[in-house]
Structure 1
Amino acid sequence: MERMKKLIEQLVKFGLVGVVAFLIDWGILNLLVAAFHVNNVLAGTISFLISLAFNYWASMKYVFKHRDDMARWMEGLIFLLSAVIGLGINDWIIWLSTLGMVPGAAHGMYVLRTNIGKLVATVVVAIWNFIIRKWLLDSKEPQSSQGVDSAAGRPAQPAAEPARKTFAKKLGEWSVTHTPNGWQ
């Protein structure tokens, strides 16, 4: 039950960070497409990358707990690679949304279809991001601020270590042992 509560809490935080990142992304996309007539895929790439910087900072600060068994450079690399895939998905869906439209003609419809494509892309990329980040970046260790076991009135006990090593744990341990001197 406690695990489900933590997952729901994490999903809510992920959603709040995602809403702010989406507003940044969507605002810049519409400014570039509607006001400056930039191609929607180029505008989508620019807006995605700008919102990604906010998303990385907020996700690692508020949503996902740092893995002590993973080097920070590996966290950044995983985030970057998953973001590149997310950008590809985003751009592909935006491109599909206006497929067959003649550039410059029916600008209002172009902007509308771009926005519909962006909404679809946002949902798909958000699902991709949560799954990959939860799998590879989120610590499985209980947080020290877990508090008190309300039923027993004593400090909550940490969960037992799983018997097998997950891919994420192996990757994290490898990254720690292969971190160049001076890096964190």
Structure 2
Amino acid sequence: MAFIKRLYERFASLVHELAKFGSIGAIAFVLDTGIYNLFLLGLEWGPMTSKVIATTISATFAYIGNRFWTFRHREQSGLTREYFLFFLLNGIALLFGLLVIGFTKYTLELHDGLSLNIANLVGIGFGTLFRYWSYKKWVFMEATEPIPVELPKTEVRQDR
């Protein structure tokens, strides 16, 4: 039991960070797949256009959630820099999804909703792995100084 406790203590911050990242990712996933299907199946737009719109909306949500919850303890290097890098890296992750969807539709010639949704899920999986690694490395960097969890205690003086 002591081994498990030490292991947890060593990786607690990573476990909590992954849990938060996963929560934001789960909501973004629901947004992405819901919007993708709305445009693909509901409005009968093409799978590539549907994917770009869905990813743009879900990535905006994910940026806000990750900046202000998942990685709030990390240094903030400026909203403009973070926002640019975040969406640049999401654009790269979007390419994973577009490649898988394009391969499914144009190479395998599978045009049905189920095949395109499976391709979307595979692309999301690859993109998620890339995003987690790249966000930690370039967007939400490790703090150079410890960020206090609580405000410092101050003495209350009573003047009489």
TM-score, length-normalised on structure 2?
0.79
Query: Could you say which residue in structure 2 is the equivalent of 1:67?
Result: 75
More helix by share: 2
- 1:20 and 1:49 mapped to 2: Cα distance? 14
- AA matched with 2:124: T
Range with greater deviation from structure 2 (87-96 or 42-51): 87-96
Q: Structure 2 CA distance, aligned partners of 1:100 and 1:129?
A: 26
User: What 5-or-longer segments of structure 2 have no aligned partner?
Assistant: 1-6, 151-160
Q: Could you report, residue by residue, the CA deviation over 1:67-105 in whole angstroms, capped at 9, with x for unpaired residues?
A: 14x222211121121011112122111111222466xxx
- Cα pair 2:59 2:87 within 8 Å, conserved: no
Deviation at 1:127, TM superposition (A): 0.6
CA contact (8 A) 2:63 2:86 kept: yes
Check the 8 A contact 2:82/2:139 in 1, yes or no. yes
- Alignment partner of 1:127 is 2:135: no
Which 4+ runs in 1 deviate beyond 3 A?
none
Deviations 1:107-144 (A, max 9, x none): xx621111101111111111111000111233423441
| Equivalent in the alignment of 2:42 | 35
2:61 is the counterpart of 1:54: yes
Aligned to 1:175: none
Taking the aligned partners of 1:41 and 1:3, their CA distance within structure 2 comes to: 43
Map residues 89-128 of structure 1 onto 2, 5 A cutoff: 89-100=96-107, 110-128=112-130
Superposed CA RMSD in Å reads 2.2
Task: Give the match for residue 153 of structure 2.
Answer: none
8 Å contact kept, 1:101–1:110: no
Match of 1:145 in 2: 149
Q: Which residue does the alignment assign to 1:154?
A: none
Any conservation in 1 of the 2:82–2:140 contact (CA below 8 Å)? no
For this pair of structures, how many residues does the alignment match?
141
Alpha-carbon displacement from aligned partner over 1:5-31 (angstroms, at most 9, x marks no partner)? 101111111011001001011001111
Equivalent-residue separation in structure 1 for 2:78 and 2:32 (angstroms): 29
Say if 1:14 and 1:59, in contact at 8 Å, map to a contact too: yes
Q: Which has the higher contact order (CA 8 A, sep 6+)?
A: 1
